[in-house]
Amino acid sequence: MTAAPDLILHHGRIVTADAKFSVVEAMAVEKGRIVATGTSAAMLARKGPATKLVDLAGKMVLPGLIDAHVHALGAGLSEFDAKLPPLNSIGEIQAFIREKAKTTPKGEWIVVPRTLPPRLAEQRFPTKQDLDVTTEHPVAFDGSYVWGANTLALQKSGITAATPNPPGGEVVKGADGQPNGILRNAAGLLKGVPQGASYTEAQKLAALETMLKLYAAAGLTSVGDRAAVLEDYDLYAKLKAQGKLPVRAVITWRINAMRAAEEVVAEIEKNSWKTGQGDEWLKFGSFKVTLDGGQSVGTAYQRMPYGAYGRQLYGQTNPDARGTLFVDGPKLTQIMRAARNKGWQLTSHAQGGAAIDVLLDTFAALDKERPMGPSRSHVMHGSFMSEEAVGRMKKMGILADVQAGWLHFDVPALEQVFGYRNMRYFFPLQTYLKNGIVIAGGSDHMIGHDKNRAVNPFNPFFNMWMAITRLTRAGKEIYPEEKISREQALRMYTNGPAYLHFAEKEQGSIEAGKWADFVVIDRDYLTCPEAEIRRIEPLMTVVGGKTVYER
């Protein structure tokens, strides 16, 4: 006789996200797996004396949501010592500096946490004049691939009008011919900037566990950590050994490709890691190379110049500048070939259109040697896609790791740089789906603990809402023909990432035999007013049949 289930959830609306997108009333769970779904009567007939019953009272259940792109450790540490204030304008940045100056010893550095200029109210990069609200402290502004410095920081670092530009970088000059404080790919010229606080292993473990719990509270049951080194993986492994992993984790190994190709290849070949190594709680996913910079600071490698507006937004001085390619095509192909031969799924950070083209050239070269489709290799970000690039992805079976939230935050500024017409294939989600390209939704969460106010919010319902509405923070729809349906958006956060992680037989839908990963939510995702989708709150998150969050 079949054993009675451990858990039965009944009288609800359970969205299975199976092939038919079925909605059922109830499900039964045994030993961490779903054993059956169906009517409440049928499931309750299975109960035994020890079965726990949960009356959903009409509440909706979704499959466990999967964020395919986070940076959990850095995000956890970002507010480990203190909460970060909002930095949405140059005025708020100046207020942050003034507050820090009150408690920072004279002469010591003040570092403004990573802030993305397109998201500032002024839509421009802060200059030394903006950062000169203190004259007793050197100030460094972390703008990701581009940094800013105040007058004292430039002086302490010996940066003058005569300072030569570093390879691929620029000391930006103002109208007076003097450095204006913007350092494009030249942050290394700053001397003495603290490289982040020094944390013990115990503190890092605590920060990582805290962040993973916050992901669970947001309704996530699995995450893809997209830029790990050996130390990061070891932290996850220690949490797993202690039974403290609240969500499943798939780790991307990001290698330092800014070295000779032979050195990079040697590291790949001596390393024992490969895609799929691990278990259902912790395993390796992709091999990653960072190919270009970021659209947020004008270093993404584009097909077109950044133009005149790039001067205001990014401190760009050359109107013909197209961004930065860190690894050329032949070198990328050499590195990726070695990784694939080792058993890796391949990906690359590629934001600009020209970087996407370089990556697809490499995939095409490798596809001629052996089909790329079975490796489930993918374009990471792929912000500035094109019709031709989508066609190449379709032909080779390449997937897409997408960040719908960027449509909301970045388009108002990027449209000023490139014009509306050139934003046509900025995260073309419906075009991907019409071409049979699997899309895996992610946030690229990197800083902050608040799911809605973090740098790249990790609230999956916000990101799904954005894919459904394509409504920018300026209140404008960006190419509404690329909107996707509620069903498609949910699959982007369930089926898609599960497929990307080679886990579609275990995760991504509520079906018999799969892990009991699901989230109970406070309103009906399928029928609530569209504006409310982003406000959906999880009531309970369950991973492997175990409740990891309950409101």
Say which amino acid occupies 451: K
Average confidence score pLDDT of the chain = 96
CATH class for the region spanning 67-72+199-507: alpha beta
pLDDT of residue 357 exceeding 70: yes
Confidence of residue 77 (pLDDT cuts 50, 70, 90): very high
What are the structural domain ranges in the chain? 67-72+199-507, 87-189
Give dist(CA 221, CA 15) in Å, integer: 16
Q: Which of 182-186, 214-218, 244-248 has the lowest mean pLDDT?
A: 182-186
pLDDT at position 536, please?
98
Q: Which helix (H) or strand (E) holds 112?
A: strand 110-112
Confidence of residue 296 (pLDDT cuts 50, 70, 90): confident
Give dist(CA 336, CA 349) in Å, integer: 13
pLDDT of residue 378 exceeding 90: yes
- Which pLDDT tens digit goes with each residue over 505-533? 999 999 999 999 999 999 999 999 999 99
- pTM beyond 0.85: yes
Residue 210 · residue 199 · CB < 8 Å: no
Tell which residue, 483, 481, 468, has the closest CA to residue 528: 468
pLDDT at position 354, please?
98
Tell me the sheet residues that pair with 183. 147, 171
Residues ≥6 apart with Cβ < 8 Å to 272: none
Tell which residue, 450, 359, 453, 351, has the closest CA to residue 145: 351
Structure tokens at 374: 């079975």
Mean pLDDT of 396-402: 98
Give dist(CA 331, CA 362) in Å, integer: 9
pLDDT of residue 540 exceeding 70: yes
**CATH number for the domain formed by residue range(s) 87-189:** 3.10.310.70
Percentage, residues of the chain above pLDDT 90: 90
Domains 67-72+199-507 and 87-189 agree in fold: no
- Which pLDDT tens digit goes with each residue over 257-272? 999 999 999 999 999 9
For 197, list phi and psi in degrees, rounded to 5.
-65, 155
Residue 347 · residue 288 · CB < 8 Å: yes
pLDDT at position 1, please?
44
Residue 191 · residue 156 · CB < 8 Å: yes
- Which pLDDT tens digit goes with each residue over 450-492? 999 999 999 999 999 999 999 999 999 999 999 999 999 999 9
Give dist(CA 145, CA 140) in Å, integer: 13
Mean pLDDT of 142-166: 94
Mean pLDDT of 394-398: 98
Mean pLDDT of 187-195: 91
Q: DSSP code of 83?
A: P
